[in-house]
A and B are shown apart, each in its own frame.
Chain A
């Protein structure tokens, strides 16, 4: 078989995947971008070209700006805590102890629950009159009177972040655990013989070797938190006072509640674009750092 034939065969083998990607991703995304440049009149069934009107409208829209800052706060806080907690849990689970298999299986449980279901449960946990959160904190003497966690802008966002951390830390734990298992025991053994203490081994050897794994975990979590919808939709619906409305929620409201397809698509396109730029920057930065090391 000549080299050219082999190359052609490889293309045939790729074709199904390319087609699937085209139908499932490229066409809808192109459609949304096109839609963000249009004005749709459902009653008339007419679509007219509107240019960049929708994008211009974004700048003057205070609700859009606040949905942005909410998204950033939510993503930043939840991913940061998840990363630290995930690494800690992974280090614990990496040790050998009796019943480790069971504990590892249990840890994944929150991740396996449907988000909407667990959001409903968290809703009751945070309830002011019947909630477990208030009961516990009052018993511990940390608060004097019941707090309506979902009823104030600051605490509602905090409650959302807590629920998200509970749900997705297991994901980070799993990824990091896989990374830990790929670190050769010989290296650590050698370090121990050289007289490095446990914290030193973690800082000098484990952490640097974990960096690629951590980057993967952060990339996945940032993307997921950034587009988070179900948890927020169920728990707060964007309230109180719009303090927990994220960009994806706002895009959804525009399309499904206000039937404003152009504007909703512009919000979604703009969000996806910004994430793509951020991802490219992060990748470039990581690449440069990796090259230097």
Chain B
């Protein structure tokens, strides 16, 4: 019984806190002291945030920002926030939110609405798609600080050598990959095929490239069992099936596994986020000056688009310093803050004028490409049941990719399971 008890115990404790509103005093002495704003970031971002915190402390009086290092994995940080916020814990003043988290966190009442705190004209300077990801039921809960968009990378040197242009269509991609690969030393195309959120991001780009859609934001209808959606999944399945252009292990890869193979010179094409560019262009990279990037390819029915990613801040409903927290967000989203965040890290800013800033463009000319791709970036659906809808899609995509069921069966199942969730989600 011990293990079963342990499971129940953990959940029991979490849920006691969740439902026992009022039993835990939100004003008890937490980690944050007066005038101190606490944020939790992944280890890789810590140096950049510390520099920003220092610059912020220099411009304000008495407010400092404490940067707490959390786990690198997005899912683990989400769980950490969830446990903390369920307990109505004031430890974190700002919640560093992924682009898909707003409905869940706002729907649970964990974030302060920002509409009364931020003037509408302050919002004009944000990339519209990034800003929209922070809205839930008509109110704003999250301000974007950096954005991401999915990109298709290619080996320009190999393509030039073979006299082939960068691909425009899925046919081009497949043909070029097949012509230039020599497995197992060099594969055609590596991407993220593990059962996790990244697989949904990859699939959505291929899906829109085929002219399909997942959940229509206007009507709430589900497009997963339409022919375009099945063709899109068939394309990914064909990448790993007979006569493959992707290694069989791609169904276990997340971003880093696929990027390492590409950076080792063992793949012609890679689907990844903008951070891969900076690493591939580093001085010690064998690919320096030998790659190109653009949005995912398409068929004649579809569009070349990117899945929108990115990070932003929401203010915790349990924070004891919401005003100081907002002041910090204003600083980070100012041009100066965006320069500090994006200059050395290669992150893409969330503010439009940052893409025209010569200091940033000189440090990172790739921003011009990101700005271009970003115009066609598409956000993932926003409703409180998103996590479940995403898990349903992940499971079925993964089943089809690993050959357990046909793409058609997988997507018909996914559509049937998704429909009850999206009822009443239309805007």
Measured in the bound complex, the distance between the Cα atoms of B309 and A128 in whole Å is 28
A269's nearest neighbour on chain B, judged by CB, is B8
Q: Select the stretch in B145-153, B227-235, B367-375, B383-391 that faces chain A.
A: B383-391
Task: Give the interface centre of A43, A242, A265, A279 by most chain B CB atoms within 10 Å.
Answer: A242
Q: Mark B1-45, 1 if CB is under 8 A from A, else 0.
A: 111111111011111101101000000000000000000000000
Chain B nearest CB from A245 CB (Å) reads 8
A272 touches B385 (CB 8 A): no
A258 touches B404 (CB 8 A): no
Say which residue of B3, B14, B193, B405 sits within 8 Å of A227 (CB atoms). Answer: B3
B15 touches A31 (CB 8 A): yes
Chain A nearest CB from B419 CB (Å) reads 15
A271 touches B9 (CB 8 A): no
Chain B nearest CB from A57 CB (Å) reads 11
Residues of A within 8 A of B55 (CB): none
B307 within 8 A of A: no
Measured in the bound complex, the distance between the Cα atoms of B6 and A27 in whole Å is 13
A129 touches B107 (CB 8 A): no
Say which residue of B8, B19, B107, B195 sits within 8 Å of A237 (CB atoms). Answer: B195
| Count of inter-chain pairs, beta carbons less than 8 A | 179
Measured in the bound complex, the distance between the Cα atoms of B177 and A108 in whole Å is 49
B195 touches A238 (CB 8 A): yes
Measured in the bound complex, the distance between the Cα atoms of B399 and A224 in whole Å is 28
Interface class of chain A by DSSP: helix
Measured in the bound complex, the distance between the Cα atoms of B9 and A255 in whole Å is 13
Measured in the bound complex, the distance between the Cα atoms of B14 and A260 in whole Å is 12
Q: Select the stretch in B158-166, B248-256, B338-346, B357-365 that faces chain A.
A: B248-256
Do A35 and B7 contact each other (CB < 8 Å), given the known contacts A128-B248, A240-B195?
Answer: no
Chain A nearest CB from B87 CB (Å) reads 12
Measured in the bound complex, the distance between the Cα atoms of B193 and A95 in whole Å is 49
Residues of B within 8 A of A268 (CB): 4, 7-8, 11
Residues of B within 8 A of A227 (CB): 2-4, 6-7
A249's nearest neighbour on chain B, judged by CB, is B7
Q: Select the stretch in A148-156, A192-200, A205-213, A285-293 that faces chain B.
A: A148-156
A residues 212-251 near B (Cβ < 8 Å) are 220, 223-224, 226-229, 236-243, 248, 251
- How many residues from A make CB contacts under 8 Å with B? 61
A86 within 8 A of B: no
Interface class of chain B by DSSP: helix
A146 touches B195 (CB 8 A): no
Residues of A within 8 A of B16 (CB): 27-28, 31
A258 touches B385 (CB 8 A): yes
A224's nearest neighbour on chain B, judged by CB, is B3
Measured in the bound complex, the distance between the Cα atoms of B127 and A126 in whole Å is 42
B4 touches A45 (CB 8 A): no
Residues of A within 8 A of B394 (CB): 239
Residues of B within 8 A of A58 (CB): none
Residues of B within 8 A of A242 (CB): 195, 395, 398-399
A271's nearest neighbour on chain B, judged by CB, is B4
Measured in the bound complex, the distance between the Cα atoms of B1 and A289 in whole Å is 22
A residues 146-196 near B (Cβ < 8 Å) are 146-148, 150-153
Residues of B within 8 A of A145 (CB): 184
A residues 102-156 near B (Cβ < 8 Å) are 127-129, 145-148, 150-153
Residues of A within 8 A of B13 (CB): 28
B395 touches A241 (CB 8 A): yes
B261's nearest neighbour on chain A, judged by CB, is A129
Do A42 and B11 contact each other (CB < 8 Å), given the known contacts A148-B249, A223-B2?
Answer: no
A259 within 8 A of B: yes
B384's nearest neighbour on chain A, judged by CB, is A259
Chain B nearest CB from A81 CB (Å) reads 19
B114 within 8 A of A: no
B331 within 8 A of A: no
Measured in the bound complex, the distance between the Cα atoms of B405 and A291 in whole Å is 51
Would you mind naming 20 contact pairs between A and B with Cβ atoms under 8 Å apart?
Answer: A27-B12, A28-B9, A29-B9, A32-B15, A38-B19, A40-B19, A42-B107, A128-B252, A148-B248, A151-B251, A152-B251, A223-B3, A227-B7, A240-B398, A240-B402, A258-B385, A259-B384, A265-B15, A268-B7, A275-B1
5 nearest CB pairs, A to B: A239-B195, A227-B3, A28-B12, A128-B249, A241-B399
